[in-house]
A = this chain, B = another copy of it.
Amino acid sequence: MADGVARVTGRATLEDVARAAGVSLATADRVVNRRDGVRDKTVARVEAAIARLGYRADPAAARLARNQSFRFLFILPTGANSFMTLLAEQVARTAEWLADQRAYLDIEHVDVFEPEALAAVLETVPPGYHGVATVALDHPRVRAAIDDLADRDVPVVTLVSDVPSSRRVHYVGIDNPAAGRTAATLMGRFLRGQTGTVGVIAGSLALRDHAERQFGFTQVISREYPGLVVLPAIEGRDDSERTRLAVSTMLEREKDLVGIYNVGAGNRGVAAALQQAGRRAGEIAWIAHELTAHSRRYLLNGEIDALISQNPGHEARSAGRVLLAYCSGNPMLPDQERIGIDIFLRDNLP
C-alpha cells in the first residue's frame, strides 16, 4: 500500500516554517533566499525548521510574487534548408511554453554563411534582452560579439553550431566529431567485405560542425576499415543543385565508389545525381544527416541507408530551459539537456 519509498510531501508553506521557528514570514523568507540581515542563531533556527518540515518553496507562488519576466532573442538562419525550417518551427512552439513561464522570445533571421552579418546582429542586440540563443559560426568577430554580450551579463547559448572558444554559457547541440564517427562505423559495417572509395560531401568546411563530422568520419574509416578510402570532401553549400553537380562529377571520376556520406544538407541533389547515373537504391551505401521530409522518404525507399540526426524539438526546448534557468538563478540538469546523436534506419523512424 504505497510504502512511500520516494514520498515527497512538499506540503509545508513558508508560513508553517515561520511559525515552527517562531519568527515572522519575512525573516523566514530572508533565510530561504539567503539574504543577509539575520542573526546567525535565527538563521539556524529557521533552517532547522525548514529541514524538519521538508519545506520546498512553491515555484509558482514565487514567480507570481516576483512578477518578473524575461526577454530572449533567438537568432536563426535565413531561408535555409529543411532542418533549419524544422528548428524554426520548434522554436516557435517553445515560445508558447516559455510565455507560460513569463519569458518572451523574439526571432531574428540571418544568413549562416555570412559571419559578418551574424556578428553584426550579435553586436547590436538591443538592451532589454535577458538572453540570446544563436545558431552560431566559429569566426573571430562572432566570438568577440558573444564575449561582449557576456560582459554585458547577457547569457548566450549556441544552438546546433558552436563557438567553443567563446564565453557562451552553454552549447545546445550534438557532439559533431562523434556524429562523424558514428556515421563511419555504420558505413564500415554496412560495407563489410567491400573495398573502394567513399565520398564525403559537406556544406562548407568552413563550418565547424561540418568539418568536425568529416574529421570524425575519416578518422574511424581510415583506422578501422582499411579496405575503404575516404575521398577529400567536396562542398555543396547545403544547396541541392550544387550538390547534385558535385556528386555527378564524383560518380564519373570514381568508378569504384561504394559509399557516400553527406555531412550537410542538399540530399535531394545526392538523390538526383545517383538516379541520373543509373545507380539503383542500395547499390551505393549512403548516409546522411537530419531527419526531414526528404531524407525520410529516401530512407523509406532504401536510397538512404541510415540517418544521423539531432532532434530540433529537444534543442529548441533545451535552449529555452537553459536560458530561463540561467536568468532565474536555477541550476540546469546536464542530464536532461544533453542532446543525443540519433540514428535512424527505416525501422525506427518516429
Contacts and interface: CB of A to CB of B under 8 A. Distances in A.
Interface in A308-335: 313, 317, 335
Given A5-B107, A64-B64, A192-B192, A181 B56 contact: no
Contacts of A338: 350
A124 B185 contact: no
B4 A106 contact: yes
A152 to B, nearest CB: 16
Contacts of A58: 64, 100, 102
Interface in A165-216: 178-179, 181-182, 184-186, 189-193, 216
A102 B11 CA distance: 8
A8 B345 contact: no
Contacts of A340: 342, 348, 350
Interface stretch (A26-34, A38-46, A89-97, A242-250): A89-97
A348 B101 CA distance: 33
Contacts of A109: 5
B345 A185 contact: yes
B8 A102 contact: no
A34 B10 CA distance: 31
Which of A58, A182, A190, A348 has most B Cβ within 10 Å? A348
A341 interface: yes
A345 B317 CA distance: 26
Contact-residue size bin, chain A (C-beta under 8 Å from the other chain): 35 or more
A95 B4 CA distance: 12
B347 A2 contact: no
A137 B30 CA distance: 50
B64 A186 contact: no
Contacts of A220: 347
A200 to B, nearest CB: 16
A293 interface: no
A327 to B, nearest CB: 16
Contact of A126 (B1, B96, B186): B1
A99 B348 contact: no
A59 B100 contact: yes
7 A-B pairs closest in CB distance: A60-B60, A2-B106, A341-B348, A181-B347, A10-B99, A343-B343, A182-B347
Interface of A: 1-10, 56, 58-61, 63-64, 73, 91-92, 95-96, 98-102, 104-109, 124, 126, 129, 178-179, 181-182, 184-186, 189-193, 216, 220, 305, 313, 317, 335-336, 338, 340-343, 345-348, 350
19 contacts: A2-B106, A2-B108, A2-B126, A2-B129, A3-B108, A4-B107, A5-B109, A6-B105, A7-B106, A8-B98, A10-B104, A60-B102, A61-B64, A181-B347, A220-B347, A313-B335, A340-B348, A343-B343, A343-B345
Given A10-B99, A58-B100, A341-B348, 13 more contacts: A2-B106, A2-B126, A5-B107, A8-B96, A10-B100, A10-B102, A59-B60, A60-B61, A185-B345, A185-B346, A340-B348, A342-B343, A343-B345
